[in-house]
Structure 1
């Protein structure tokens, strides 16, 4: 195999690896108007780990307009949010060790970002998952669907 052919094979392998990795990385924005930038997120079923980055594009501090990203089953959103309010800001408004929560980020304020990596083990294609912000009063408006496709 000549050098050009070796380079082409290496480039294809690198490209395939990067496209698979990028499919397992998500980014979502939040703002001072209590909105996420999308109402739906999905990852391919081949993703064993998902990296999610939350970006707060607003200007208000976390104490006034903080946001996080919480993933749970749709039927658990209200209860998880309610328990989260009682857990308080020191716990990012998520009850510690809540097994209804698949993943969550810390609460951030305007101009900040945070990332988490979580396992998709236990999540299924036919699951009814929802993400939301558990900052007090936000979950009713700031939510969307999460799918394994």
Structure 2
């Protein structure tokens, strides 16, 4: 019984180390980044650094979860940090048929379609659309995900 508790405790410590050692920032080697999502409502990494030298930048969103798009779909949406709540709100009103993005919303800089477990989607955008002094957020506009699923994009 004690031996089992010790093994269980060690397993929890190791699992915690693995989870906390996951990369939190994507340093783009080229002009692209891969953002992973899953069924636990998270993005990895949570920060993307975009080199100013890039003309265009591509983000590929992957979904490593198992749940289908209707149950746990995710997208990747880029906007100014100050616009995030408004973009998420109008995205909810646009609904699933529009990938939870209002097509007329000019605050959206870039976005992917909504994907489910085992799927991937990419989007490219012009780096000239970003301003160095601005704070940018990326987030998921699927029903209720934006308060938890968000990260920061920085122009470097």
TM-score (norm 1): 0.84
Runs of 5+ unmatched residues, structure 1: 1-20
Deviations 1:40-82 (A, max 9, x none): 0111101110111000000000000000000000011111000
2:142 matches 1:131: no
**Alignment partner for residue 71 of structure 2, among 58, 64, 68?**
64
**Alignment partner for residue 146 of structure 1, among 142, 149, 153?**
153
Question: Match of 1:31?
Answer: 38
Question: Match of 2:58?
Answer: 51
**Alignment partner for residue 101 of structure 2, among 68, 77, 94?**
94
Cα distance, 1:112 vs structure 2: 0.3
Question: CA RMSD for the aligned pairs?
Answer: 1.1
Secondary structure in structure 2 of the residue aligned to 1:97:
coil
Structure 1 outlier segments of 4+, above 6 Å: none
Secondary structure in structure 2 of the residue aligned to 1:23:
coil
Runs of 5+ unmatched residues, structure 2: 1-27
